[in-house]
């Protein structure tokens, strides 16, 4: 019996070592350009499962008071930048009355609740309850002003002073779709940074906002989507419920799309990073990254900025409301001189993303 138990422990330890080696690859992924080694684009999806695996190994070895617990402990510490951005706990976080509230929200062209009017109303109720001073929308859809559409409601009913809507695609009859920023502070400059020659909903816009005597640059980005069609998402659900021998072909097709999108995001992230480096003002950056914190794109954009989730988030911070679990793909980054007071994900599904609301304190003059 002792021999069997010893063999079992050795087998567990072997898996523990393999898990540690795999985790090191995950930790390296943010620093490797996908064009150099494209297989790294899939490693970020393992960051959360591997963290749970190491926690499990630590519990197992701790029960036997074994020094082998150090293997997973060291693995977690080595990957602290990734693990710290994957799982958080911030008890008792509160925002003061003078905090600046920022919302980032991919509204999915207001298509989630069946009819656009119902989705409009549901999303407006969130905005009314949260009262953000700055809103960054991705996949925002609205018609021209004075047509009674969503932009008019924000200006006329919710008292947003100014806004910038970059109409990437669409027309006056159907409505336009793209990135937008709405502000309760004066906007003194604005610009659009396309990621490619043709106009798509993926891109970058920014506005310079006057807050008292200070200027703050608000950047809103939407990095390349994986472009998984509805039937492919349904296919993933089917695999989860009923895996079979044919699943492999469909998975390879999905992996090819993820690879292509990750390569595009790497280039887009470098474009955004260059904008951040050249900006003369403090920055608040919001966006749908379509990628995880262990990715090259996240690492490039974040640079010296603070991740609001790392400062004041809780749990996994899941922002994607679709089929894939525990995906935090919507981010709010802030200047190092700002103090993050709260980071909250509003778990009300009126899009395939949940809105992120962050309270920030700016330095006193």
Of 43, 60, 84, the last residue of a domain is 84
Mean pLDDT of 14-43: 96
- What six digits make up the tokens of 106? 């991919």
Residues 269 and 303 in one domain: yes
**pLDDT (tens digit, 9 = 90+) per residue, 351-364?**
999 999 999 999 88
In the chain, pLDDT over 90 holds for what percent of residues?
A: 70
Which pTM does this prediction carry?
0.91
Residues 127 and 43 in one domain: no
Q: Would you state the pLDDT for residue 215?
A: 97
Picking from 356, 359, 360, the residue whose alpha carbon sits closest to that of residue 104 is: 356
Residues 175 and 309 in one domain: yes
> In Å, how far from its chain's centre is CA 84?
15
Mean pLDDT of 150-173: 89
Residues 65 and 209 in one domain: no
Q: Would you state the pLDDT for residue 326?
A: 67
Does 91 map to a domain? no
What is d(CA 193, CA 191) in angstroms, rounded to the nearest whole number?
7
Residues 176 and 285 in one domain: yes
Task: Give phi and psi for 266, each to the nearest 5.
Answer: -60, -45
Name the domain count of the chain: 2
Q: Would you state the pLDDT for residue 42?
A: 95
Residues 65 and 110 in one domain: no
Residues 105 and 52 in one domain: no
Q: Would you state the pLDDT for residue 275?
A: 97
* Residue 225 near residue 202, CB atoms below 8 Å: yes
**pLDDT (tens digit, 9 = 90+) per residue, 287-327?**
999 999 999 999 999 999 999 999 999 999 999 987 666 68
Does 93 map to a domain? no
Strands, E, within the chain: which ranges? 100-106, 134-142, 162-171, 175-183, 187-194, 203-211, 214-222, 283-288, 306-307, 330-334, 339-345, 356-361
Q: Would you state the pLDDT for residue 198?
A: 74
Of 42, 58, 84, the last residue of a domain is 84
Residues 315 and 216 in one domain: yes
**pLDDT (tens digit, 9 = 90+) per residue, 246-291?**
555 567 777 888 898 999 999 999 999 999 999 999 999 999 999 9
**pLDDT (tens digit, 9 = 90+) per residue, 29-86?**
999 999 999 999 999 999 999 999 999 999 999 998 999 999 999 999 999 999 999 9
Q: Is the pLDDT of residue 349 over 90?
A: yes
Residues 38 and 122 in one domain: no
Of 84, 112, 139, the last residue of a domain is 84
Q: Which range is least confidently modeled, 13-17, 164-168, 254-258, 262-266?
A: 254-258
Residues 113 and 77 in one domain: no
Residues 258 and 146 in one domain: yes
Does 95 map to a domain? no
For residue 209, what is the domain's CATH number? 3.60.10.10
Going by pLDDT thresholds of 50, 70 and 90, the confidence category of residue 206 is very high
Going by pLDDT thresholds of 50, 70 and 90, the confidence category of residue 238 is low
Residues 182 and 289 in one domain: yes
- What six digits make up the tokens of 265? 């995001």
CA 192, 194, 199, 205 torsion-angle sign: negative
Domain that holds residue 222: 100-361
Mean pLDDT of 172-178: 84
Q: Is the pLDDT of residue 211 over 70?
A: yes
- Mean pLDDT estimate for the chain: 90
């Amino acid at each position: 019996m002792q021999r069997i138990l010893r063999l079992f422990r050795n087998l567990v330890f072997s898996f523990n070592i393999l898990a540690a080696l795999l985790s090191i690859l995950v930790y390296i992924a943010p620093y490797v350009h996908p064009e150099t080694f494209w297989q790294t684009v899939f490693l970020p999806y393992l960051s959360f499962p591997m963290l749970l695996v190491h926690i499990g190994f630590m519990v197992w070895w701790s029960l036997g008071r074994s020094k082998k617990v150090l293997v997973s402990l060291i693995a977690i510490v080595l990957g602290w930048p990734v693990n710290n951005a994957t799982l958080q706990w911030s008890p008792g976080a509160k925002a003061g009355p003078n905090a600046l509230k920022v919302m980032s929200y991919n509204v999915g062209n207001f298509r989630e609740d069946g009819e656009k009017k119902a989705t409009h109303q549901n999303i407006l109720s969130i905005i009314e309850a949260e009262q953000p001073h700055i809103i960054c929308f991705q996949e925002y859809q609205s018609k021209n002003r004075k047509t009674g559409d969503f932009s008019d409601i924000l200006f006329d009913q919710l008292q947003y002073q100014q806004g910038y809507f970059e109409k990437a695609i669409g027309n006056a009859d159907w409505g336009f779709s793209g990135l937008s920023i709405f502000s309760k502070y004066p906007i003194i400059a604005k610009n659009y940074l396309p990621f490619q020659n043709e106009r798509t909903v993926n891109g970058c816009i920014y506005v310079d906002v006057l807050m008292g005597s200070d200027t703050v640059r608000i950047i809103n980005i939407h990095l390349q989507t994986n472009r998984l069609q509805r039937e492919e998402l349904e296919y993933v659900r089917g695999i989860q419920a009923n895996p079979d021998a044919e699943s492999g072909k469909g998975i390879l097709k999905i992996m090819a799309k993820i690879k292509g999108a990750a390569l595009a995001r790497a280039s887009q992230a470098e474009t955004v990073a260059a904008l951040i480096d050249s900006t003369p003002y403090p920055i608040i950056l919001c966006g749908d990254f379509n990628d995880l914190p262990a990715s090259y794109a996240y690492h490039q954009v974040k640079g010296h900025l603070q991740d609001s989730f790392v400062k004041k988030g809780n749990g996994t911070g899941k922002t994607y409301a679709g089929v894939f679990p525990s995906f935090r793909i919507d981010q709010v980054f802030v200047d190092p001189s700002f103090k993050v007071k709260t980071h909250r994900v509003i778990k009300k599904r009126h899009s395939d993303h949940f809105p992120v609301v962050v309270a920030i304190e700016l330095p006193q003059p």
